[in-house]
Amino acid sequence: MISFSAQTQTAIEFAADLIRQSKRTVALTGAGLSTPSGIPDFRSEGTGLWSHDEPMEVASLHTFRTAPEKFFAWFRPLAGQIYNAQPNAAHLALAALEKAGKLVSIITQNIDMLHQKAGSVSVVETHGSIRTLSCTQCYHKVNADQCVTNFVATGLMPSCPKCGSTLKPDVILFGEQLLQSAWSDAQQRARQCDLMVVIGSSLEVLPVAGLPMQALDRGAHLIIANNSPTYLNVRADAVILEDVAVVIPAIVERVLNG
C-alpha cells in the first residue's frame, strides 16, 4: 500500500469528496499523464522533448510543408514510443471513473490514444491523434496502424496510396489551428462542468490552457494534479504535486469504494 504525506492524503480525500458531490466532472489531461507509460513530455528539464529540440524547427506546420523529412526524422522515435505504449494506472482509473458515471468526459492534449486504450469512451482530442494520417494533396485519409508501423521500421516517409504525396499525421503542429469541431466541443464541456480535474498538464499551451478559467468563471470547482505548479494553483480547491500515476488511482479508489 502506498503511503502519502499527511498533506497529500488530506488533498486526496478532499478531491475525492469533490468528485463524489459533482454532477458533471470533466478531466483535462496533458503530457504528464503519459510519461509513466514511457512517452516523453515536452517541457520537463533534461528529459522533455524541447530540452533537445527547438519545436518550431522540427514540429511546426512550416517545417512539415518545407522540409517534411526533417519533421519525420524527429517524429520517428516518438511515433515508436507512442505505438508501443500501454495505459498506466491513471488512465485505467479515469476509465473506471467514467464507467461508474462519475466522469462526464476527458479533454486531452495528448495524441497517444491511451485514454481509449484504457477504455475511456468520451474523449475530446484537442491536439488530434496519430490514429490517422491525411494526404497533403488529395486529402485521402489513411488508418495509421500499418502506415506508422512501416514508417517506424524503415524511416521512409509515409505516402498516399492514391496519389503518392506525403501523408501528414492528423496531429496539431506548431502554427496550425486546432480542429474547430474538437475545440468547440472542449469549450462546451469546460463551460458546462461543475468540476474540472487537471491532470499532468503544466497549463502552458494555449488555447487549451485557458479551459480551466472558462470552467472557473462559470462557478466550477478545480482540482490540479501535476508534478509541478501551474498558473492556476492559487485558484484551485485542491492541488496535488505528486506522480499522477499514483495519485489519480488513489483518488478514484476513494471515490468508488470510500
Q: Which long-range contacts (CB under 8 A, 24 or more apart) does 122-128 make?
A: 122/98, 124/182, 124/185, 124/186, 124/189, 125/182, 126/172, 126/178, 126/182, 126/183, 126/186, 126/208, 127/171, 127/172, 127/178, 127/208, 128/169, 128/170, 128/171, 128/172, 128/179, 128/182
Asked if residue 92 and residue 80 are part of one domain, the reply reads no
Report the domain count for the chain. 2
Strand pairing report for 141-143 and 128-135: antiparallel
Asked if residue 73 and residue 152 are part of one domain, the reply reads yes
- Residue 182: per-residue pLDDT: 97
Asked if residue 93 and residue 80 are part of one domain, the reply reads no
Domain containing residue 51? 46-84+130-171
Given the residues 91, 115, 127, 221, select the one marked as catalytic.
Answer: 127
Query: What is the tens place of the pLDDT at every residue in 44-56?
Result: 444 445 446 566 6
pTM of the model: 0.92
Asked if residue 10 and residue 50 are part of one domain, the reply reads no
Specify whether 62 is catalytic.
Answer: no
Q: Which residues neighbour 172 within 8 Å (Cβ) at sequence distance 6 or greater? A: 126, 127, 128, 178, 179
Query: What is the tens place of the pLDDT at every residue in 112-126?
Result: 999 999 999 999 999
Asked if residue 135 and residue 121 are part of one domain, the reply reads no
Query: What is the tens place of the pLDDT at every residue in 175-208?
Result: 899 999 999 999 999 999 999 999 999 999 899 9
Asked if residue 162 and residue 68 are part of one domain, the reply reads yes
Asked if residue 153 and residue 211 are part of one domain, the reply reads no
| Residue 164, domain CATH | 3.30.1600.10
| Residue 190, domain CATH | 3.40.50.1220
